[in-house]
Amino acid sequence: MDEILSAESIDLEELKQKTFFGCPDNGSTRALVWRLILSALPVNKAEWEKTLESQRVNYSTFVKEFIIRPDEEKNSASNDPLSNTGNTWDEYFKDNDLLSQIEKDARRLYPDISFFSEPAKYPAVDFIHESYKTGMLKMRISKRNVTSSQSAKSRNGTILMTESTNGDEDDDQECKVEKNWEVVERLLFVYAKLNQGTKYIQGMNEIIGPIYFVLSQDPDLEWSRNAEADTFYCFTQVMSEIRDNFIQSMDESTSGIHALMAQTFTLLKKHDYSVWQVLNDQEIRPQFFLFRWMTLLLSQEMRIPDTIRLWDSLFSDSRRFEFLKYVCVAILTLIREDLISGDFGFNMKLLQNTSDVLPDVLIIIRKADELRQKDLRKNSGPHIQLLSKAQLAHSNFSR
């Protein structure tokens, strides 16, 4: 892999083929490879500096635009309540509702590991602006009882004011430290502001979490200090491909989540009829478990190191995210004995708490690849031929 990465112009197809079998867990490789295969970084190294510079500047402009500026405007107006006029305030209140939703989910991201509740190595004060402190999201959140639209109407003013005073004292001490989950919160808020069609949907936190986890722990400090901005672009790329899963109005379309789940069930029927039959007979619908599995790219079904390893393979899929369907089918076939002997209650429990029973992630990936290869061999469509050729080239190369 180092050889591929050392080229002036990186062969993306070759990189994907290698990445499918996993990136090394130490060093900077994975963080770099993910940027590349997610197209957040051009393959031509000569373009890196310019691209990164412009992406990072753009991101900090977004933060200033969506977080710092509204806060400053609000603060300058807040001395005179009568000046609370017009759309700026409306929007500020609406944003606070959005923010409190994101905050709830960012806060409860991966509670089983300490990373997200640890201080961020490069908080926003460092990389954006000294004045970021004024727009720190946590300050807004702690005051949201006072400023958000619904509570502003609340009758119980006394309690509200007491609340906010207490909150401010805590904030003074706390605002020096920014935790990793707060970085995730800011990332999701900026994404929601930029993507008004989707805004924030629960589950996006589970997609951005592992990406930020990988990029921010890059031992190469030149890269990790820009983890936040770069995560934003990687996440945006992933979302552009899986966005339809999150959009309610897309549910019934051919690219929506229902179609994806149905295709996976069809695949299961083909590769393991007995398991399919059990699920079908027991009326265990795909949306009872596949909805979460697929929307979150299985990130809630396994521990974070396994998720990351799985995502090496998912991201390097040349028909992203076709391989995800095979992974889901592989999981079902690997726990088939339990499923076949289980009743409805037992099976539902099993499918919703797979992390205890799943075999090693490598076994899952191998099984999924095996199923896919089987289909590739059977199928002789033009696309498949192309793929087989590439694989042939790859095996020649390794010989």
Partner 1 sequence: MIHESLLHHDLLFKLLLIGDSGVGKTCVLFRFSDDTFNTTFISTIGIDFKIKTVELQGKKIKLQIWDTAGQERFHTITTSYYRGANGILLVYDITQPKTFDNISKWLRNINEHASEDVERMLIGNKCDMEDKRLISEERGKKVAEENGIKFFETSAKENINIELAFNTLAEDILNKQRPIEDNNVATGVNLQGGNQSSSGGPGSCCKL
Q: Check binding of 291 to partner 1 (CB under 8 A).
A: yes
Closer Cβ to partner 1, 10 or 141, answer by number: 141
Q: Choose one: 47-55, 106-114, 179-187, 311-319; the region binding partner 1 (CB under 8 A).
A: 106-114
* Least distance to partner 1, CB of residue 347, Å: 9
Closer Cβ to partner 1, 20 or 289, answer by number: 289
From the CB of residue 58, how many other CB atoms can be counted at a distance below 10 Å? 13
Q: Check binding of 344 to partner 1 (CB under 8 A).
A: yes
Instruction: Say how far apart CA 185 and CA 107 lie, in whole Å.
Output: 8
Q: List the x/- string, 172-211, binding to partner 1 by CB under 8 A.
A: -----------------------------xxx-xx-----
Q: Check binding of 273 to partner 1 (CB under 8 A).
A: no
Q: Check binding of 97 to partner 1 (CB under 8 A).
A: yes
Please give the helix or strand (H or E) that residue 28 lies within, else none.
none
From the CB of residue 274, how many other CB atoms can be counted at a distance below 10 Å? 11
Closer Cβ to partner 1, 251 or 370, answer by number: 251
Q: What is the largest CA-CA distance in the chain?
A: 77
Tokens of 67: 């977080």
Query: For 273, which DSSP code?
Result: H
* Least distance to partner 1, CB of residue 179, Å: 14
* Least distance to partner 1, CB of residue 307, Å: 13
Q: Which of 2, 8, 283, 356 binds partner 1 (CB under 8 A)?
A: 283
Tokens of 219: 């031992």
Q: Which of 134, 217, 263, 282 binds partner 1 (CB under 8 A)?
A: 282
Closer Cβ to partner 1, 226 or 299, answer by number: 299
Q: Check binding of 143 to partner 1 (CB under 8 A).
A: no
How many residues touch partner 1 under the rule CB under 8 A: the total is 47
Contact 117, 109 (CB under 8 A): no
Residue 247: closest CA among 204, 310, 287: 204
Instruction: Say how far apart CA 312 and CA 309 lie, in whole Å.
Output: 5
Contact 228, 188 (CB under 8 A): no
Contact 355, 303 (CB under 8 A): yes
Contact 183, 228 (CB under 8 A): yes
Closer Cβ to partner 1, 62 or 189, answer by number: 189
Instruction: Say how far apart CA 95 and CA 101 lie, in whole Å.
Output: 10
Closer Cβ to partner 1, 75 or 253, answer by number: 253
* Least distance to partner 1, CB of residue 231, Å: 20
- DSSP per residue, 147-164: HSHHHHT-S-HHHHHHHH
Please give the helix or strand (H or E) that residue 15 lies within, else none.
helix 12-20
- DSSP per residue, 312-353: HHHHT-TTTTHHHHHHHHHHHHHTHHHHHH--HHHHHHHHH-
Q: Check binding of 284 to partner 1 (CB under 8 A).
A: yes
Q: Which of 81, 86, 197, 345 binds partner 1 (CB under 8 A)?
A: 345
Using CB under 8 A as the binding rule, the residues of this chain from 211 to 230 that contact partner 1 are none
Residues in the chain: 399
Query: For 289, which DSSP code?
Result: T
Q: State residue 179 phi and psi, 5-degree precision.
A: -95, 160
Q: Check binding of 383 to partner 1 (CB under 8 A).
A: no
Closer Cβ to partner 1, 129 or 292, answer by number: 292
Q: Check binding of 354 to partner 1 (CB under 8 A).
A: no
Instruction: Say how far apart CA 48 and CA 59 lie, in whole Å.
Output: 16
Taken in order 137, 222, 48, 211, the sign of the CA dihedral is: negative
Q: Check binding of 300 to partner 1 (CB under 8 A).
A: yes
Q: Check binding of 341 to partner 1 (CB under 8 A).
A: yes
Q: Which of 49, 172, 222, 343 binds partner 1 (CB under 8 A)?
A: 343
* Least distance to partner 1, CB of residue 239, Å: 14
List contacts with partner 1 (CB under 8 A): 97, 101, 104-105, 108-111, 145, 150-151, 153-154, 156, 159-160, 163, 201-203, 205-206, 246-248, 251, 281-285, 287-288, 291-292, 295-296, 300, 341-346, 348-349, 352
